[in-house]
Amino acid sequence: MTDLLIIGGGAAGLYCSSLLPEAAVIERGESCGRKLLLTGGGRCNYTHASSVPELLEHYHGSLPFIRKVLYSHTPEDIINRFRKLGIKEKDEDGKIFPETESSHDILSALLKHNPKIILGKVVDVERRGDYFQIKTEDSEYSARKILIATGGNAYPQTGSDGLGYHIARKLGHSIKPQHPALAAIALTPSLGESEGVSTYITLKKGRKCVSGMAVITRKGISGPAAENFSHLLNGKEEIEISFSDADMKAIRRDQGSMLVKNALPLPVRLSYALIGELADRKAANLSKKEENTITECLSRHKFMAAPIASSAMSTAGGVSTDEINPATMESRIVPGLYFAGDIIDVDADCGGYSLTWAFATAAIAAKSMKQ
Ligand SMILES: Cc1cc2nc3c(=O)[nH]c(=O)nc-3n(C[C@H](O)[C@H](O)[C@H](O)COP(=O)(O)OP(=O)(O)OC[C@H]3O[C@@H](n4cnc5c(N)ncnc54)[C@H](O)[C@@H]3O)c2cc1C
């Protein structure tokens, strides 16, 4: 019998174990923190230096729940925790990285206290009286309190394949439908002929809109604007993209002798992809109708859009926040059961917010499990 058991040795599980050295960690992979090593392109953007009200604008889910979590363990607490573990930070416009720019250093810091790590894939958890029986593929363990920190189902090659949802559901929890978040987006029609072009765009679905930089890919778009918008898509849906709010009337009047492609504040390849041969016309010679067509194509271009699941870095949906106490991260249904990280029905924009969530929920769980 183990007293405290953490299922999942990823960002949340390891942060929890660093604060709760008496707990054992069960990890299904050959090693812990495989996704953590990939974060921030290997540099690990581990939090975002903002006030909580600013942070809140970057999270999606139950706002009261998220607020309570983020006030309990703030980015400052995360930075201080890593300082204690020997990591100095580097601030890039609020995005916090280790000074060494190495996610390996973050992982080593979390493993510094030498946690007890059991390698094994948890396949079932049962509540028996006042303890849990945890089955792996080839062993069984019992524990008085457990934390499920098995991640969502993004990047399953790093171990998070959604098995945690089944375990939570079996224990009585409601699981909100999952869909990809922080993903690239496939567009129909694609803008493949301008592949590689980087540009500022605004994506709109109904009244929701997201602006930022995007990179045109062969299939659609990637980059921060696409990633931050992807959680809004339920499968394939019609969206509008604004590439430019250029005033065509003013261009026709003031730059009439120029070709449209040279007058527009857009990369030429993108102008061709958006307005075709109208790009080669002299601005002064455009008819009123053609002028309107260009405005429409630049500022309200309609596409069918779908997130590219294989590129998703996070998961929207998961264990319902209605059934977790945000002050303790303990289940409101099963005493002694705790949750942290991506498995919870909260997702965030890119910029260090997802790891902030993993660490904050883990810290709250650690404190409460200790009692
Ligand atoms: C390429 C990439 C880059 C990213 N960059 C950033 C970034 O720079 N900043 C940021 O804030 N976020 C970033 N993220 C998101 C961030 O990595 C996740 O939000 C975070 O790792 C979630 O932590 P977690 O502990 O909940 O899940 P995970 O880190 O996925 O860990 C879950 C762990 O549980 C284990 N596990 C799963 N099922 C079982 C089981 N049945 N039995 C035993 N163990 C199991 C898995 O093997 C895994 O080790 C990035 C994600 C990706 C994919």
DSSP string covering 211-260, please?
EEEEEE-SSEEESHHHHHHGGG--SSEEEEEES----HHHHHHHSTTSBH
Confirm or reject: Cβ of 7 under 6 Å from ligand 1.
yes
| Mean pLDDT for all residues in the chain | 96
Cα–ligand 1 centroid distance for 299 (angstroms):
37
Task: Please report the DSSP string for 157-197 in residue order.
Answer: GGT-SSHHHHHHHHTT--EEEEEEES--EEEES--GGGTT-
Query: Which residue from 161, 166, 310, 354 has its CB within 8 A of the most atoms of ligand 1, so it is best to mutate?
Result: 354
Provide the CA 137 distance to its chain's centre, in angstroms: 30
Confirm or reject: Cβ of 346 under 6 Å from ligand 1.
no
Task: Please report the DSSP string for 299-313 in residue order.
Answer: HSEEEEEEE-GGG-S
Predicted confidence (pLDDT) per residue in 136-189, tens digit: 999 999 999 999 999 999 999 999 999 999 999 999 999 999 999 999 999 999
Confirm or reject: Cβ of 36 under 6 Å from ligand 1.
yes
Which two tokens mark 318?
Answer: 């998961």
CATH 3.40.50.970 fits 2-180+313-370, yes or no: no
Task: Please report the DSSP string for 279-303 in residue order.
Answer: GGSBGGG--HHHHHHHHHHHHSEEE
Which two tokens mark 202?
Answer: 């605004």
Closest CA to 342 of 364, 312, 306, 317: 317
Q: Whose CA is nearest to atom 49 of ligand 1?
A: 10
Pairwise CA distance, residues 80 & 160, whole Å:
28
Confirm or reject: Cβ of 75 under 6 Å from ligand 1.
no
Confirm or reject: Cβ of 179 under 6 Å from ligand 1.
no
Cα–ligand 1 centroid distance for 43 (angstroms):
15
Residue 7, judged by CB atoms within 10 A of its CB (0-12, 13-18, 19+), counts as buried
pLDDT at 170: 97
Q: Which one-letter amino acid corresponds to residue 23?
A: A
- Write down the pTM of the prediction: 0.95
Which H or E element spans position 131? strand 131-136
End-to-end CA distance of the chain: 18
- Residue 351 makes CB contacts below 8 A (sequence gap 6+) with 45, 48, 58, 94, 95, 224
pLDDT by 10s per residue, the chain, length 371: 679 999 999 999 999 999 999 999 999 999 999 999 999 999 999 999 999 999 999 999 999 999 999 999 999 999 999 999 999 999 999 999 999 999 999 999 999 998 999 999 999 999 999 999 999 999 999 999 999 999 999 999 999 999 999 999 999 999 999 999 999 999 999 999 999 999 999 999 999 999 999 999 999 999 999 999 999 998 899 999 999 999 999 999 999 999 999 999 999 999 999 999 999 999 999 999 999 999 999 999 999 999 999 999 999 999 999 999 999 999 999 999 999 999 999 999 999 999 999 999 999 999 999 99
Q: Whose CA is nearest to atom 31 of ligand 1?
A: 10
Cα–ligand 1 centroid distance for 12 (angstroms):
8
Q: Whose CA is nearest to atom 53 of ligand 1?
A: 313
Query: Which residue from 18, 32, 35 has its CB within 8 A of the most atoms of ligand 1, so it is best to mutate?
Result: 35
Cα–ligand 1 centroid distance for 243 (angstroms):
33
Handedness of CA 302, 307, 310, 314 (dihedral sign): positive
Closest CA to 222 of 189, 242, 240, 196: 196
Can you tell me which atom of ligand 1 is nearest the CA of 33? Answer: 49
Contact 20, 364 (CB under 8 A): no
Helix axes 353-370, 75-84, angle to 10 degrees: 70
pLDDT at 114: 87
Cα–ligand 1 centroid distance for 214 (angstroms):
24
Cα–ligand 1 centroid distance for 231 (angstroms):
17
pLDDT at 282: 95
Confirm or reject: Cβ of 26 under 6 Å from ligand 1.
yes
Confirm or reject: Cβ of 149 under 6 Å from ligand 1.
yes
Pairwise CA distance, residues 167 & 175, whole Å:
10
Q: Whose CA is nearest to atom 37 of ligand 1?
A: 150
- The helix/strand/coil state of 83 is helix
Predicted confidence (pLDDT) per residue in 222-268, tens digit: 999 999 999 999 889 999 999 999 999 999 999 999 999 999 999 99
Residue for token pair 């990285």: 97
Confirm or reject: Cβ of 12 under 6 Å from ligand 1.
yes
pLDDT at 1: 65
Q: Which one-letter amino acid corresponds to residue 140?
A: E
Confirm or reject: Cβ of 154 under 6 Å from ligand 1.
yes
- Residue 147 makes CB contacts below 8 A (sequence gap 6+) with 4, 5, 6, 7, 8, 12, 13, 16, 23, 329, 338, 339, 340, 362, 365, 369
Confirm or reject: Cβ of 159 under 6 Å from ligand 1.
yes
Confirm or reject: Cβ of 107 under 6 Å from ligand 1.
no
Pairwise CA distance, residues 220 & 305, whole Å:
8
**Structural domain boundaries in the chain:** 2-180+313-370, 185-307
Cα–ligand 1 centroid distance for 293 (angstroms):
45
